[in-house]
C-alpha cells in the first residue's frame, strides 16, 4: 500500500456556448496510507469532481494524481468506489455481488471464497448472503457495496455520499461500520459528504472546500474518528471540542452560501 498525492489539480469544463467553468483550481494534498479523510463544502465546490479525478473517471485540466510511484491515468482496481446508490447487480445474490470483482479478475473460487465469506461476516451480511439485492433495505445494500469494494482489495476507497440516502438510525450504524472497517483493514479512505456531523465523525482529517473555483479552504485534524472506533458515536459527540468545531464549520459554509447567493443576485 502507498500514499496518495494530489498535485496542483485544476479542472475546467467547456460549455456548449463557448465559455467554461473552473470547477477546481490548484488543489494539492498528500494522504498517507491508512488515513481517513472527509471532504465537505457547499454545492459547487468541486467535491465530487475531485473524487472522480482521483478515481480516474475524469482527466484533470492540469496537475497529476499519484498513488505510490504511479500516475493515475484512468480507473483501476487499486482505487475502489462506493456510490450513494450502491450500483449493485439487482438480479444477483449478495454473495455473487461481493465476489464479482475477484471473479472478473480471473481468480479461482478457491482463492477468493474465504475472503468473501469473511467480508460478509464483518459487514453483518452473513445471514443475507443468498438474498437477492432487491430484497434488502437501503442500509443493507450499502453494506453490500462496502463489502464488494473491499473484496477487490483496493489501496484507496473513495466514497461519494455513501450514506446520504439512509434514515438517521441506519446512517449512524453505517458510520460505525465505516470506522470499524477503516481500523481493521488499514485502508486509505476519502469520503465526500454534505453532513458536517458525518464529516466530523468520519474524518481524522477534514477538508472544507470553497467554491467558484473549488479549492481547499481549511483543513482540520480531529480525534473523533479514532474515538468512534468501537464506541457509541452519540458519546463521541459529547466531547468538549465537538460542538465548537461543528459550529465553526457550519458558520464557514453558511458564509460561503451567502456569498454565492450574493453573486447570483448581482449577475
Tell me the pLDDT tens digit for each residue of 58-104.
999 999 999 988 999 999 989 999 987 767 888 899 999 999 999 98
The CATH architecture one would assign to domain 4-78+157-266 is 3-Layer(aba) Sandwich (3.40)
Sequence-distant (6+) residues with CB within 8 A of 83 are: 145, 160, 161, 162
User: Which phi and psi (to 5°) does residue 78 adopt?
Assistant: -75, -5
According to the model, what pLDDT value does residue 86 have?
60
Q: Give residue for cell 488515513.
A: 35
According to the model, what pLDDT value does residue 260 have?
73
According to the model, what pLDDT value does residue 166 have?
85
According to the model, what pLDDT value does residue 149 have?
93
7 has pLDDT over 90: yes
Comparing 239 with 258, which gets the higher pLDDT?
A: 239
- The closest alpha carbon to 198, from 182, 179, 219, belongs to 179
According to the model, what pLDDT value does residue 215 have?
95
Alpha-carbon gap, residue 125 to 177, rounded angstroms: 12
Domain with CATH 3.40.50.300 in the chain: 4-78+157-266
Residue 179: C-alpha distances to residues 172, 249, 261 (Å): 11, 22, 36
Question: How many Cα atoms sit within 13 Å of 212 on the Cβ side?
Answer: 10
pLDDT band at 230 (very low <50, low <70, confident <90, very high): confident
Mean pLDDT of 194-208: 96
Sequence-distant (6+) residues with CB within 8 A of 75 are: 55, 56, 57
pLDDT band at 164 (very low <50, low <70, confident <90, very high): confident
- Per-residue DSSP letter, 261: H
6 has pLDDT over 70: yes
3-state helix, strand, coil in the chain (%, to 5): 40, 25, 35
According to the model, what pLDDT value does residue 1 have?
52
Is the entire prediction scored with pTM above 0.85?
yes
Amino acid at each position: 500500500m502507498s500514499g496518495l498525492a494530489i498535485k496542483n489539480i485544476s479542472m475546467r469544463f467547456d460549455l456548449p456556448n463557448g465559455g467554461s467553468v473552473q470547477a477546481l483550481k490548484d488543489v494539492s494534498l498528500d494522504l498517507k496510507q491508512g488515513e481517513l479523510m472527509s471532504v465537505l463544502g457547499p454545492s459547487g465546490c468541486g467535491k465530487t469532481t475531485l473524487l472522480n479525478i482521483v478515481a480516474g473517471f475524469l482527466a484533470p485540466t492540469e496537475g497529476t494524481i499519484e498513488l505510490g510511484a504511479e500516475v493515475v491515468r484512468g480507473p483501476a482496481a487499486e482505487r475502489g468506489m462506493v456510490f450513494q446508490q450502491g450500483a449493485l447487480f439487482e438480479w444477483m445474490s449478495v454473495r455473487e455481488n461481493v465476489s464479482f470483482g475477484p471473479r472478473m479478475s480471473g481468480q479461482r473460487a478457491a482463492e477468493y471464497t474465504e475472503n468473501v465469506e469473511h467480508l460478509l461476516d464483518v459487514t453483518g451480511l452473513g445471514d443475507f448472503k443468498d438474498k437477492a439485492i432487491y430484497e434488502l433495505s437501503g442500509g443493507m445494500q450499502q453494506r453490500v457495496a462496502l463489502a464488494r469494494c473491499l473484496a477487490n482489495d483496493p489501496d484507496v476507497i473513495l466514497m461519494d455520499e455513501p450514506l446520504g440516502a439512509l434514515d438517521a438510525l441506519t446512517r449512524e450504524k453505517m458510520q460505525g461500520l465505516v470506522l470499524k472497517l477503516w481500523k481493521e483493514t488499514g485502508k486509505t479512505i476519502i469520503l465526500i459528504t454534505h453532513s458536517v456531523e458525518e464529516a466530523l465523525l468520519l474524518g481524522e482529517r477534514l477538508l472544507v472546500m470553497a467554491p467558484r473555483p473549488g479549492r481547499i479552504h481549511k483543513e482540520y485534524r480531529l480525534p473523533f474518528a479514532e474515538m468512534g472506533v468501537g464506541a457509541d458515536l452519540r458519546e463521541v459527540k459529547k466531547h468538549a471540542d465537538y460542538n465548537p468545531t461543528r459550529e465553526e464549520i457550519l458558520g464557514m459554509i453558511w458564509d460561503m452560501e451567502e456569498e454565492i447567493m450574493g453573486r447570483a443576485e448581482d449577475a
